[in-house]
Amino acid sequence: MYYGDMAVHGKNRHLQLLFQAENKRGAYKIWAAKIRRNIYYHG
């Protein structure tokens, strides 16, 4: 089994992307929201 902070599954419910978020100095909530939104819309 794989563990990560966010997993993306395809239409066939197979795992397509798995990644782990790490602390980034100076990262803002808006930046994190944009990354999440881009993964959702374009992923």
Segment 20-41, tens digit of pLDDT:
777 767 777 787 788 788 877 8
- Eight-state DSSP code of residue 39: H
* Locus of tokens 């089994």: 1
Locate the domains of the chain by residue range: 6-42
Q: How many residues does this entry show for the chain?
A: 43
Structure tokens at 31: 């930046």
- pTM of the full structure: 0.44
CA torsion angle 11 12 18 24 (round to 10): 10
Q: What is the C-alpha to C-alpha distance for residues 40 and 24, in angstroms, rounded to an integer? A: 21
pLDDT at residue 19, rounded to an integer = 77
